[in-house]
Structure formats: C-alpha cells, structure tokens
Structure 1
C-alpha cells in the first residue's frame, strides 16, 4: 500500500481548483443575461438557425450572442472535469506547477468566454483565450507523471 502525503503547497492547488467553480458559476449567470436579452425561454438550450435567419438584425444579434454565451459555458462544462482532475492529481507531486497551470487555465476560460460573446459575427473572439487547451494537455501530462510516480513508489 502507498501512503500519500499532501505536499505543503497543496493548498495552492486547492485554491486554483476552487477558482474554477467561480468561473463556472459566472458563466452560467452570463448565459441567463444573454437568454433574457434574446428572449429565449426555457427549456430551449439554443436559438435555432431559422430563428436567427428570420429575426430582425438587432434580435438576430442577441440570439447569436446567446448561442455564443451558451456554447462557451457548455465548452467549459465539457472540459472542467478533465482539467480539475488533472490539476488535483498533478498537484500531488507538482503542486506549484499544477496550481499555476490551473490559474492559467481558469483565466483563459474567462478570456475564451468573453471573446466568444464580444465577436460580432462568428465567435472567433474565443481564440484569444484558446491557451486553456494547451494548458489542459500539459496538466494531463503532469497528472500522468504524478500517477506514474505514485504507482512506482
């Protein structure tokens, strides 16, 4: 049996992990605001292509921004578990690296979501925050190395 001892800096990993919860909540609140502006009622998750194409320009823009906000939030949800798990595992052996990468991931998720909704036409503003993807893969690599180290101990 392997006994795990948390490194003294693991608290930084936990702080970085908790920051992701605030971002997820913020993204959800943003979607609500964009939903109201677009007048999309529940339970509809997105405005349809037809709704956007047939709407007057101002409403079409509101519908598009709602879809972008919703997609930014969904993309966060799709990747959050992987990033969070990798951060917590990597932090067992590399706490400062994991906490730092987690912070960069979180900041880039905000930039990604903000850019997605500020671009007027096709949501390409999200690419300003695309570094989250590279950081996530690096976190996965560190998590794999940490897991290997524990397994081989």
Structure 2
C-alpha cells in the first residue's frame, strides 16, 4: 500500500495560482458576461434567447460574441481543475501556464467577437497553457504512482 507522509506546504508562489483563479473568474464571469450583455443591448437580443435567429441581420455578430463566451465557459471547469492540481505541486510553472491559457482565452474572445469566427484562432495559444497544465498533472501522477512499482 502506498503511503504519503508529505504535508502540503503553501508557499508565496501558491498565491499566483490563487490570483489566476480570481483572474479567471474576473475574465470569464465578469468581463465576458458584460461583453455579451453589451452585445445583447447593441443587437437587440432579448432574454431568454441564447442565440439570435440566423435570419436576423446582426445574428452572426451577436452569435459570435455569445459563442465566444459559451465556449470559454465550457472549458473553464477543466482549466480550473488542472490549474489547481498542477498549482499544488508546481506553483510557478502552473502560474505561468495558467497565465498563458488565460491570456489566450482573452485573445480568443476578442478575435471571435469581431464577427468573423476564423478570428478566434488568434487565441489558439491558450491550448499551450492548458496542455502544459495537463502535463504537470500527469507528471505528478507518475511521481506519486512510481514508488508503488519499485
């Protein structure tokens, strides 16, 4: 049976992980939400409609803003989980990767919100940050499991 006697020690570097979690909330749940609200007002899209009818003249413009936010929210749980877990073991590296992912998500949102869906690829580098976080989690998993096979 594998036993671990390591206690979790929080260091100042862990503060950067927490700051990124707060930053993720500010970006996804505040800034992007406000931008969707502004687009609703600008294009006259009333609640509860999630998207505008494609036959309307400004449908593409609004739907791009809404879809940019929706896609970002869809990816938020895995980003948070990876950031938190990787951040426990590798707080500095996880903070850097998390910042790359978050800035990439902002670029994605801004690009998509232009009304040209292909402009969302400006934020494709968000995946580099997320993949790095997943790699850190996988590495830590191997570090924890490996002694059981020795």
Name the TM-score class by shorter chain: 0.7 to 0.9
Unaligned 5+ runs, structure 1:
53-59
Q: Do residues 15 (structure 1) and 11 (structure 2) align?
A: no
- For 2:137 and 2:10, the matched residues in 1 are separated by 15
- TM-superposed CA distance for 1:152, in Å, is 5.2
Q: Do residues 70 (structure 1) and 66 (structure 2) align?
A: yes
Q: 2:34 aligns to what?
A: 29
- For 1:16 and 1:64, the matched residues in 2 are separated by 32
Alignment of 1:42-121 (within 5 A): 42-49=47-54, 51-52=55-56, 60=57, 62-119=58-115
> TM-score, with normalisation over the residues of structure 2?
0.85
For 2:113, what is the secondary structure of its paired residue? helix
Of 4-13 and 110-119, the range deviating more from structure 2: 4-13
Residues 34, 69 of structure 1: 8 Å contact kept: yes
- For 1:137 and 1:123, the matched residues in 2 are separated by 23
- TM-superposed CA distance for 1:147, in Å, is 3.4
Runs in 1 of length 4+ with deviation above 2 angstroms?
A: 1-8, 146-153
Unaligned 5+ runs, structure 2:
none
Distance 1:98 1:152, change over 3 A: same
C-alpha deviations, 1:103-144, integer Å up to 9, x for none? 11111111110111124xx41111111111232122111112
> TM-score, with normalisation over the residues of structure 1?
0.84
